[in-house]
């Protein structure tokens, strides 16, 4: 039975109608309806006729995003605020300063944490300035929705930092911060409901317009996270050579009939499946029957085997999962390992281990299938940089996939999504996908603008799309690609394509670094340094600089080398070089797609 709050602006008949409607809908339908109502603008004439008290109240929605999730959720909040009659604005942290928040009114923050506690790339400058303080936010009220991933120790750390700092600077918290895992729908909905409930007094004087039936938006259904498109595999071929130490696949998928569109620089979200042998190992560790019926929150009833295959993350071992399992197993040894005073001990033990190791080492005498399902989070989607231009390959989307296989603690492990695509997605199989737009990784609008691209390994993917896009549009700007991998003869991804692009003039210059073809290791940053003078000249001519690939090592080294080139070739101090880079970021001339 749905319980409506006392202040709900509904009469008894409306409450009964809404209760009946929601009771007849499944989880996917209610999630869609929630998003629709959040963005519904209503009848402009009706809104203008009864502006109410809420229209005098200012709501600022501030977001910091890495992959786009925070931006999408912030947009929902913004639209909901407008529909409720608030004077609302939507602000990206990349375009804001902390001093701008003094007049924010009610500040609603949606911000993600990237990697080990870092702010999103585009939000770094705002975050640092906010942490430095120096601004009074008295008179501002706020609430924070933090996005993160419980598989990382510094879960939602950026959101936690922003939440604490806003209070420290004098702002008043109107609703508690909510920390969302990768499966954020329910947590975000709870946070939104709390926020609007706290602001209800201001909004209650404004009687919202009636909701009209949703109009058809076109011939295609909406394919997104809740309703992915079954894309047929057109091609799945091994790119790396037979003697390569790596395994890299080129995967082509059909988008025909989906209505999905993308731009060069966007990413494709893939909803993978857990491998059969991994599911079997978990069933063996618990002694549970795969045919047992279970209820998966937000999904519905499934057999345990199906739930472990398509619904749940059965590999990622987090402290949260370990703690939940300890409550079931009652293991004193596990409790001691999880004790807050020995965080490092648990971290050391968990490194390289997966959930099956936890279940085997600390078995439960009796656990039900439902109890197991309830402690596992939903299977996270995986994001892959798109390796194709829609103009060059209409109706298709291409991926460059590095397959992850390794051994730890006497067990063979494998990446969930990468081995799903490599082993279980041959030509003709359907893969659940949707397009995730990456507005922070885009070609310059002017086709005559030069571009510099640094993409070792599978970081080459978006630059294949960039070069194809510029070729298709007849862009005249010069383009320079730095590519690196281990061996020239085994790992030169898309070699023939690059040579053809060079021949046709679609690619101006190509510099490659193969680390294992000589005694000393040579990487892309070394090739940048070798060409420091010319690279600086390109920058001074307005070139846009792009990096894609590993964040922990490669992107860091590339950034340091770029900083050094600007300093030495431009005759600048370290501080001046940093300011030069900051201005490039601000102008969107320095963009990174790192992971």
* Predicted structure pTM score: 0.82
Cβ-contact 127, 119 below 8 angstroms:
yes
SS3 labels along 157-193: HHHHHHHHHHHHCCCEECCCCEEECCCCHHHHHHHHH
Q: What per-residue confidence (pLDDT) applies to 337? A: 93
Q: Residue 457, exposed/middle/buried by CB under 10 A (0-12, 13-18, 19+)?
A: buried
All residues at 6 or more sequence positions from 581 whose CB lies less than 8 Å from its CB, including other chains: 559, 562, 563, 566, 590
Cβ-contact 510, 478 below 8 angstroms:
no
Q: What per-residue confidence (pLDDT) applies to 6? A: 54
Task: Of 109, 111, 355, 388, give the one whose Cα is nearest residue 234.
Answer: 388
Q: Collapse the DSSP code of 67 into the 3-class scheme (helix H, G, I; strand E, B; otherwise coil) and give the result.
A: coil
Would you say the C-alpha torsion 19, 25, 29, 31 has a positive or negative sign? positive
Cβ-contact 218, 21 below 8 angstroms:
no
Q: What per-residue confidence (pLDDT) applies to 114? A: 84
Would you place residue 392 in the very low, low, confident or very high pLDDT band (cuts 50, 70, 90)? very high
Does the structure show a pLDDT above 50 at 102? yes
Rounded Cα distance, 478 and 474, in Å: 12
Rounded Cα distance, 184 and 77, in Å: 14
pLDDT tens-digit series, residues 141-182: 999 999 998 888 789 999 999 999 999 999 999 999 999 998
- Average pLDDT of the segment spanning 365-392: 95
Task: Of 396, 377, 148, give the one whose Cα is nearest residue 254.
Answer: 396
Kind and range of the H or E run holding 452: strand 451-454
**Across the chain, what does the average pLDDT equal?**
89
CATH numbers and ranges of domains, the chain: 12-203 (3.40.50.360), 229-272+381-436 (2.40.30.10), 276-375 (1.20.990.10), 451-594 (3.40.50.80)
| DSSP string over 83-116 | HTT-EEEEEEGGG--GGGGGG-SEEEEEEE-BTT
Does the structure show a pLDDT above 60 at 41? no
Number of C-beta neighbours around residue 132 at 10 A: 10
Indicate left, alpha or beta for 445 from its phi (over 0: left) and psi (-120 to 50: alpha).
alpha
Q: Which residue has the higher pLDDT, 296 or 55?
A: 296
């Amino acid at each position: 039975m749905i319980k409506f709050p006392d202040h709900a602006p509904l009469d008894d008949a409306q409450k009964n109608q809404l209760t009946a409607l929601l009771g007849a809908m499944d989880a996917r339908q209610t999630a869609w309806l929630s998003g629709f109502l959040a963005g519904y603008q209503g009848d402009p004439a009706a809104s203008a006729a009864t502006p109410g008290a809420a229209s005098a109240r200012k709501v600022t929605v501030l977001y910091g995003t890495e992959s786009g999730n925070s931006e999408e959720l912030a947009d929902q909040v913004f639209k909901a605020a407008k529909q409720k009659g608030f004077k609302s604005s939507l602000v990206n942290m990349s375009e804001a300063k902390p001093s701008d928040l003094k007049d924010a009114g009610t500040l609603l923050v949606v911000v993600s944490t990237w990697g080990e506690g870092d702010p999103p790339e585009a939000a770094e400058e705002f975050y640092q300035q906010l942490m430095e303080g120096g601004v009074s936010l008295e008179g501002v009220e706020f609430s924070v929705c933090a996005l993160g991933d419980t598989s990382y120790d510094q879960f939602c750390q950026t959101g936690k930092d922003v939440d604490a700092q806003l209070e420290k600077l004098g702002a008043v918290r109107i609703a508690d911060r909510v920390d969302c895992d990768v499966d954020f729908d329910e947590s975000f909905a709870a946070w939104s409901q709390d926020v609007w409930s706290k602001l209800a007094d201001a909004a209650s004087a404004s009687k919202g317009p009636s909701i009209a039936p949703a109009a058809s938006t076109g011939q295609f259904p909406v394919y997104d996270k809740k309703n992915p498109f079954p894309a047929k595999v057109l091609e799945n071929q091994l790119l790396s050579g037979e003697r390569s130490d790596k395994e890299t696949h080129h995967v082509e998928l059909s988008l025909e009939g989906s209505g999905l569109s993308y731009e060069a620089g966007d990413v494709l979200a893939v909803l993978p499946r857990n491998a059969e042998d991994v599911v079997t190992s978990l069933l063996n560790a618990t002694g549970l029957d795969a045919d047992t019926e279970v209820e998966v929150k937000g999904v519905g009833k499934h057999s345990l085997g199906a739930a472990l295959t398509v619904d749940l993350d059965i590999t990622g071992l987090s402290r949260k999962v370990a703690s939940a399992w300890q409550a079931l197993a009652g293991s004193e040894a596990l409790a001691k390992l999880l004790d807050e005073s020995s965080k490092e001990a648990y971290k050391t033990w968990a490194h390289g281990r997966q959930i099956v190791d936890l279940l085997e080492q600390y078995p439960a005498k009796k656990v039900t299938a439902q109890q197991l399902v309830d402690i596992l989070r939903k299977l996270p989607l995986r994001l892959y940089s798109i390796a194709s231009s829609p103009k060059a390959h209409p109706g298709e989307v291409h991926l460059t996939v590095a397959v992850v296989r390794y051994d730890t603690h006497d067990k063979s492990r494998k990446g969930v999504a990468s081995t799903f695509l490599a082993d279980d997605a041959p030509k003709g199989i359907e893969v659940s996908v949707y397009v995730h737009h990456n507005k922070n990784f885009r070609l310059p609008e002017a086709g005559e603008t030069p571009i510099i691209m640094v993409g070792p390994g599978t970081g080459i993917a978006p630059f294949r799309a960039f070069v194809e896009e510029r070729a298709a549009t007849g862009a005249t700007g010069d383009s320079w690609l730095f590519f690196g991998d281990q061996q020239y003869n085994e790992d030169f991804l898309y070699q023939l394509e690059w040579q053809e692009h060079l021949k046709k003039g679609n690619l101006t210059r190509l510099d490659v670094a193969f680390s294992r073809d000589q005694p000393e290791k040579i990487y892309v940053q070394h090739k940048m340094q070798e060409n420091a003078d010319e690279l600086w000249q390109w920058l001074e001519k307005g070139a846009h600089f792009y990096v894609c690939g590993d964040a922990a090592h490669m992107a860091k080294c590339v950034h340091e080398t770029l900083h050094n080139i600007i300093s030495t070739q431009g005759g600048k101090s370290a501080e001046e070089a940093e300011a030069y880079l900051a201005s490039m970021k601000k102008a969107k001339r320095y963009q990174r797609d790192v992971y």
